[in-house]
Each structure stands twice: as structure tokens, then as C-alpha cells.
Amino acid sequence: MSDHDTPTPKHPDLHEFFAKDPAAADRAFFGRETCSDRRGFLRGAGLATMAAMVGAAIPLHRNMPGGLIPAAFADENVLVGKDGLTLLNDRPVNAETPPHLLDDAITPTARHFIRNNGIAPTDTDPATWTLTVDGMVDNPMTYTIADLQSRFEVVTMALTIECGGNGRAFFDPPAKGNQWTYGAVACSEWTGVRLKDVLAAGGVQSGVVYTAHVGADAHLSGDPGKLPISRGVPIAKAMTDNVLIAFAMNGGALHPMNGAPLRLVVPGWPGSCSQKWLQRVYLRDVVHDGPKMTGKAYRVPSYKVEPGEKVDKKDFVIIERMPVKSLITNPANGAGSGRSIEVRGHAWSGDRTVAAVDVSHDFGATWMAAELDAPASDGAWQNFRAQVELPAAGYYELWARATDSEGVMQPHAIDWNPKGYLNNTMHRVAVRVS
């Protein structure tokens, strides 16, 4: 099966999960215990988890039968406010955008992908939200969003965010995790304040090595003592001009699943660095060791490995900049077409710019240079287009490859890695000329 024919992965079905073993599902899903008379009761983290998921307190929770799926879930649409996304997982919510829906130069909020690690918070009032900046700073501070807006320069920048596992579906042998195809990437306009300005106001102490980020999302277990994810970046990256603490997206509020009301945006690095529902940033004199920061999470082997090869944990290194990549957004894969067709898309390369994009219609035998725009901001993807004339009726594939400012070209195929990260294989789409 070719990469463009990969079927949509089936996401877990909640009702199927509960039907197999309601008591076990209660414990796994809500942390809920079940009475022998089948009258369930919730307590502690389990109750908080369920309340967060239905969006309100549950005054009569003691009367709920064990194994009961709240009726609210039957009508719940976790993709409210999104347009055309493909749901990969509903616990946590993860959804990607088909490439042809990413054709806009700036990604609309409704088409920005979702990558969650825990359960999104429900108490997200911007008026009461606070951000604490502490750790190795001279003056620890807690800010409201209004404080950030009044005390620091507010900027708007187009910035690209890409999940480190984008393209995982195409690894052979398969890698565990969400089976992203192409659509875990977006470039929206973000409005906020520079992280470096906020850190400088706190007084960055000598010896700081890394930032650490904490969000308000809940751990899937419901345990309030656990964080689903807490990553960070080297202090040098944190102090660059295009790392934002964002409170607006495309001129409006952040989407709830994209981190409302406050998030980090760290362009060019794995999206996991861009902590959502941001509540705290603290500075450390060691590499941060929060959840999803150690072991093999968001890491790749420090050397090439054979497909399927076992790699010791000590041989993994943290992913920093994302690799050079391009995406064809027009035509859609499998589309019918006339012989003259405009190929459009985007290209990006971590902290670098893209120097060239080439397009082929003859399986890579020849290439033509595409017209390439400059990035709208430092950290934005670059839009490209090329007018291709197809010689006759029949089946064709359109391929795109990008070359970055350091001369690194997007490969036809990449080296395998155990976690399925950093897949920047050339994108190709099929067209049929009648």
C-alpha cells in the first residue's frame, strides 16, 4: 500500500471500551470504584475527572450506576469549532487536518490540528487565569493575562507548530503512538508577549540551563498529583525573539483544544515544547526532567539504526529543531485534473528558512523550481506554487522537495527510528487526468 492510500486509523470507541468490562473501565477511565449493588460512587480525582469531562459539577454523583457512560458523552463533539479534522484518538483528543484543508497561507483556527496529552481543563476564564514565573529568577512573579498585556510588548507573528510524530503512520515496522499522516502541522497567527521579555523581567540567574513548563490539563489517570506532560527548552532557545506566550490566535480567542486561554508557541521545535493551558514557567540549572521529557519521549537514537532495532535508552537524544519539510495542499490527493495544474503548498525547516522547493510530475526523473514566498514572520512556513503541464491523460504523482538555508534537502525516504519521529519524507499526491 502506498503512503497516500493509508486508511484512516480507527480511534478507540468509548462505548465498546465500557461494554467489555464496566468496572474495569470505570477504574481506568475515571478512577471510579463500583459498589457491589451496582450503585457507583465517585470520589477524589475520579469525580473531578468526570466533572471536567462533562463540563459541570455532578451533585447526585453518588446515585450513578457503576459502568454508566454519562449521556453527555453521546452528543459530545470533541471537535466543536473545528472544520474537517480527522479524529485519531478521543482520550486524549488528537486530530489532524487533511493536507488539502491546509491550503491557506495562514491556518484558520478551525483547521489547526489538536495534540493533547491529558484532559483539557474546563475552568479557563481569561480574566482569572494566572501565569507564575519562578525557579532560578531574582524576582518570582505571578501575572494575569491583563498584566502580560500591559507590562510587555504585545506582538503578532505567524508561527509554525508541528508535532514531532507527524508522519508516524508511514514507518515500517510501525511505531507506537498516534498514527499521524501529514496533518499535524499548522501555521496560524499568534498574538502574545515574548517569553524572553517575561523571563528578563524576572531576572534570569547565572547557571540557568533549561526552562520547565506546566499546564492545567489533567493526567488521564485522574490523579491530581500527576502531570500529563511538562517539557522545556534550553534557555538560549527560550530567549529568542519568536517564542511567544500567546493569548490570541488569528485575531480571536485561542480555541479550547489549542490551549485557551494561554499557551507557549515555540516555532520550529516539536509541538510538545509549546505547552498549552500554560500556568507556570520555571528556570532550572539542569535539563528539565518532567513527564514526556525523559526516557525515549520526544527523542531519537544518536546514530542510525536498522528498522526494528532495539536501542538502549542512554543512546537517545532530545529532539530540538524539526527537519526540512514540504507539504502539497493543492491538488488534493486522488483528485481529477486537467493537464494544466497549479501545485501549491508550504515548506519549513526548524529554526532555518527554506531556500528552494522543487516539484516533479514524472516520479523524480526531472524537477522544476517552484515560486517560493519569504516567511511572513521568523518561524512561519513558506508558501510555494508551480504551474505544471501534464503531457497526456492518465495517472500522475506530484512530488515536492524542499531545500533549506543550510543546503539540507528533504529526502525521498528517511531512516527509521523506534518512536516514529521526524518523518520528513517527500510529500507526493496522486492526480488523474481524464
The pLDDT tens digits for 192-236 are 999 999 999 999 999 999 999 999 999 999 899 999 999 999 999
Instruction: Tell whether 131 is covered by a domain.
Output: yes
Q: What CATH number does residue 157 fall under? A: 3.90.420.10
Distance of CA 226 to the CA centre of its chain: 21
- Same structural domain for residues 9 and 120? no
Instruction: Tell whether 400 is covered by a domain.
Output: yes
pLDDT at 90: 86
At 105, list the grid cell: 497561507
- Same structural domain for residues 186 and 202? yes
- Same structural domain for residues 410 and 429? yes
* Segments forming the whole domain that contains residue 337: 325-433
Instruction: Tell whether 338 is covered by a domain.
Output: yes
Instruction: Tell whether 80 is covered by a domain.
Output: no
Collapsing DSSP states into helix, strand and coil, what is residue 26?
helix
Q: Which of 415, 383, 410 is nearest to 399 (CA)?
A: 410
- Same structural domain for residues 287 and 154? yes
Q: Which of 310, 246, 236, 247 is nearest to 269 (CA)?
A: 236
Instruction: Tell whether 289 is covered by a domain.
Output: yes
Q: Which of 372, 394, 389 is nearest to 381 (CA)?
A: 372
**For residue 81, which amino acid is it?**
G
- Same structural domain for residues 403 and 271? no
pLDDT at 60: 79
- Same structural domain for residues 287 and 164? yes
- Same structural domain for residues 296 and 194? yes
pLDDT < 70 positions in the chain:
1-56, 65-76
pTM score of the predicted model: 0.84
Instruction: Tell whether 351 is covered by a domain.
Output: yes
- Same structural domain for residues 57 and 104? no
pLDDT at 39: 40
The CA-atom distances, in angstroms, between 136 and each of 216, 265, 282, 381 are 22, 22, 7, 34
At 428, list the grid cell: 507526493
Total tally of structural domains belonging to the chain: 3
**For residue 56, which amino acid is it?**
A
Which residue among 75, 106, 127 closes a domain?
A: 75
Q: What CATH number does residue 414 fall under? A: 2.60.40.650
- Same structural domain for residues 164 and 51? no
| Distance separating alpha carbons of residues 254 and 260, to the nearest angstrom | 5
- Same structural domain for residues 293 and 331? no
**For residue 322, which amino acid is it?**
M
pLDDT at 63: 76
Which residue among 254, 287, 318 closes a domain?
A: 318
Instruction: Tell whether 143 is covered by a domain.
Output: yes
Q: Computed over its alpha carbons, how large is the radius of gyration of the chain?
A: 23
Which residue among 262, 284, 318 closes a domain?
A: 318
pLDDT at 59: 80
pLDDT at 339: 94
Instruction: Tell whether 88 is covered by a domain.
Output: no
The CA-atom distances, in angstroms, between 52 and each of 59, 121, 216, 284, 336 are 13, 7, 12, 32, 45
| Contact yes or no for 165/420 (Cβ under 8 A) | yes
pLDDT at 67: 55
Interacting residues of 40 by C-beta distance below 8 A, sequence separation 6+: 26, 32, 33, 34, 64, 65, 66, 67, 68
pLDDT at 9: 40
pLDDT at 58: 77
- Same structural domain for residues 304 and 349? no
- Same structural domain for residues 341 and 415? yes
